[in-house]
A = this chain, B = another copy of it.
Amino acid sequence: MRPTLAALTLLLAAAAQAQTPSVLPSADATDPQKLGWMQGSPPPPDKLVRHQDASFYKFPQTRWSFANFRQFLPTTNVWRGTGTPSALPKALRQDIDALSFTPLGQSTPMSWEQSLAANYTDAIVVLHKGRLVYERYFGVMKPHQAHASMSVTKSFFGTLGAMLVAQGRLDENALVTRYVPELEGTAYSDATVRQVMDMTTGVRYSENYADPKAEVWDHIRAGGLFPKPPGYSGPSSYYGFLKTLKKEGEHGQAFAYKTVNTDVLGWVLRRASGQSVGELLSESIWQKLGAEQDAYMVVDSEGSEFAGGGLNLTARDLARFGEMLRLNGRYNGQQILPASVVQDIRQGANKDHFAQAGYALLAGWSYRNMWWVTHNAHGAFAARGVHGQMLYIDPKAEMVVARFGSHPLAANANFDPTTLPAMQALAQHLMR
């Protein structure tokens, strides 16, 4: 079968967004156990993964480090509380690996099992009707081990923002400066909380991970996630960086994915709730969810947690969070989130605003409360993070997929072709 013109167009557009290296080493060839990262006592110099030289953020070292972020960075605990973990009854299915789908822009089908390697999967958990039907770990990952969730983090705090709005503790129509006066004089001085929550702000900030000069690198360097070069004199905290941001364009006109919006939201959440975002997450969700493990958050030198991407958690617990949303906020014997919050996420936002961002593979989607809303026939919505982190919720198929990865390339456009059709194929399969 030859690719369709539509598929080719998609592929070309995606390639323009994606980094396109000549050849990528395979998942198998970069297995962190086989490569021996951090093995030995101490590991030999060529097997060391470190923060100080930023090697912890270089591929293929990332295949080890994404499962061990706390060994490189200061963190805070997201406490699970003292309760028994909520049940995830096992009903493992052997028929999923052989499932076949055609990646976007390709003509040759791929099996579900092949897609795991294609996406450099580190961990994947599938729930169907609340039962654990599929679970795999690769490299150094284990069921109890926390993995970096990158921008999947954002959906947690977008959800908490919507929760505070529903509870009347946060005014989505207020200017963010009502909560954070420190942002007067920045790009955010005339932005509303809602614009921040839906990322329709106009702010000069590039999220292009393929460009070493993009502001996203300044942002995470300020927070200390990356080491600062000698003589560095820029901001030394996430909030310090936010105060440097200037306006570009207008607010409320278009969706533009910029991590700083989530850190602004995190600052707003701290002021509105009186808690750090990690404490808010623990108290409002994590303790109620019956999470199996504590989660943790990367923190800067001022004690501010990285709301834009600092959450680390297990694949099972990520799936539990998804299952709670699939069930309209009711999980583990209690209404954890108001159903209206989940409804508001699922309803999505303005598709025209979204279309202006030019995601060729995501036609017809929108972005609401820091969630990616597909508006497909199943009403699916997703949390997405660089290098393959994902929580995919398909209400019609009663399916939740939590995935962690360490793909060599950052942008989702690099692995959406081998991910999105796999999600749809699995949903169809489970509904049979």
Contact = CB atoms under 8 A, between A and B. Distances in A.
Contacts of A276: 41
A123 interface: no
Given A41-B271, A42-B237, A302-B42, A70 B76 contact: yes
A181 B85 CA distance: 45
Contacts of A70: 70, 74-77
A144 interface: yes
Count copies of this chain in the complex. 2
A271 to B, nearest CB: 6
Contact of A301 (B52, B85, B301): B52
Contacts of A271: 41
Given A71-B303, A73-B74, A292 B82 contact: yes
Contacts of A74: 51, 70-74
Contacts of A41: 239, 267, 270-271, 276, 304
A38 interface: yes
B303 A43 contact: yes
Nearest to A292: B82
Interface of A: 38, 41-43, 48-52, 70-77, 79, 82, 84-85, 144, 146, 237, 239, 267, 270-271, 276, 292-294, 299, 301-304
26 contacts: A38-B303, A41-B239, A41-B267, A41-B270, A42-B237, A42-B302, A42-B303, A42-B304, A43-B302, A48-B303, A49-B303, A50-B302, A51-B74, A51-B301, A70-B76, A71-B74, A71-B75, A71-B299, A71-B303, A72-B74, A75-B75, A79-B144, A82-B144, A82-B292, A293-B294, A294-B294
